[in-house]
Amino acid sequence: MQCIKDSRVICVNIVRFSCALIFVFLVTCAPAQADKRVALVIGNSAYKSAPKLANPVGDAALIGGMLKKAGFDTVDVRQDLNAPEMRKALREFGARTRDADVAIVYYAGHGLEVDGTNYLIPIDAALETDTDVYDEALPIDRVLVSIESAKQLRLVILDACRDNPFSKTMKRTVASRAIGRGLAKVEPTSPNTMIAFAAKAGSTASDGDTRNSPFATALVEHLPKPGLDLRKAFGFVRDDVLRSTANKQEPFVYGSLGGDDVPLVPAKPAATGPQANPQSELRRDYELALQLGTRDGWEAFLAQYPEGFYANLAKGQLNKIGAEETRASAEQKSRAAEQEKTRLVAERAQKVEQDKATAAAKAAEEARIAAEKQKQIEQARTEAAEQQRKVAEAAAAKAQAEKQAAEKAKAELAARQAAEKASAKQTADRQIPEAGSQKVAALAPAPTSNLSAADLAKSVQSELRRVGCLASAADGEWNSAAQRSLTLFNKYAGTQFDAKLASVDALDALKAKPGRVCPLVCNFGFKADGDQCAKIACRAGYHVGDDNECEKIQEKKPVATREDSRRRDTDRKQTEAAPSTPQASGQMICNNAGCRPIAKGCRLGTANHPATPTVKLPAEICN
How far apart CA 160 and CA 199 sit, in angstroms, is 9
Range of the domain at 622: 581-623
> Do 294 and 219 have their domain in common?
no
* 561 in a structural domain: no
CA angle, corner 409, sides to 405 and 410, nearest 5?
A: 115
Whole-number pLDDT of residue 435: 38
Amino acid at site 258: G
Q: Residue 200: pLDDT above 70?
A: yes
Domain boundary among 445, 470, 501: 445
With respect to residue 82, please indicate whether it lies within any of the assigned structural domains: yes
Does 545 fall in a domain? no
Say yes or no: 75 and 201 in one domain: yes
pLDDT at 303 over 70: yes
For the entire predicted model, the pTM comes to 0.42
- What is the model's pLDDT at position 37? 93
Q: Which of 38-52, 198-212, 256-270, 289-303 has the lowest mean pLDDT?
A: 198-212
Whether residues 532 and 383 fall in one domain: no
Same domain, residue pair 226 and 104? yes
Q: Does any domain span residue 553?
A: no
b/e for 590-618, b at 16 or more Cβ within 10 A? eeeeeeeebeeeeeeeeeebeeeeebbbb
The answer on 300 and 262 residing in a single domain is: no
* Residue 462: per-residue pLDDT: 92
For residue 51, give the 3-state DSSP assignment: coil
Residues 1 and 110 in one domain: no
What's the confidence (pLDDT) of residue 280? Answer: 78
412 in any annotated domain: yes
Closest among 43, 339, 74 to 215, alpha carbons compared: 43
Contact 236, 222 (CB under 8 A): yes
Mean pLDDT of the residues in the chain: 79
Each residue's pLDDT tens digit, 519-548: 775 778 888 776 577 888 888 888 888 878
Confidence of residue 454 (pLDDT cuts 50, 70, 90): confident
What mean pLDDT comes out for the span 366-379? 91
How many structural domains does the chain have? Answer: 5
Task: Examine the fold and report which residue of 274, 301, 335 is the final residue of a domain before the chain moves on.
Answer: 274
Which residue, of 211, 239, 274, is where some domain finishes? Answer: 274
Q: Would the pLDDT of 615 be above 70? A: no
φ and ψ at 39, to 5 degrees? Answer: -145, 145
Q: Please indicate, yes or no, whether residues 51 and 170 belong to a single structural domain of this protein.
A: yes
The predicted structure's pLDDT at residue 124: 92
User: Are 18 and 54 contained in the same domain?
Assistant: no
Lowest mean pLDDT among 28-32, 36-40, 391-395: 28-32
- Same domain flag for 48 and 182: yes
Same domain assignment for residues 615 and 520: no
Confidence of residue 15 (pLDDT cuts 50, 70, 90): very low
In a domain, 556, yes or no: no
Work out the pLDDT band at 32, boundaries 50, 70, 90.
very low
Q: What is the CATH number of the domain that holds 226?
A: 3.40.50.1460
For residues 196 and 235, membership in a common domain is answered with yes
Which H helix or E strand runs over 287? helix 280-292
Same structural domain, 328 and 391: yes
Domain annotation covers residue 550: no
Instruction: Look at residue 557 and tell me if it is in a domain.
Output: no
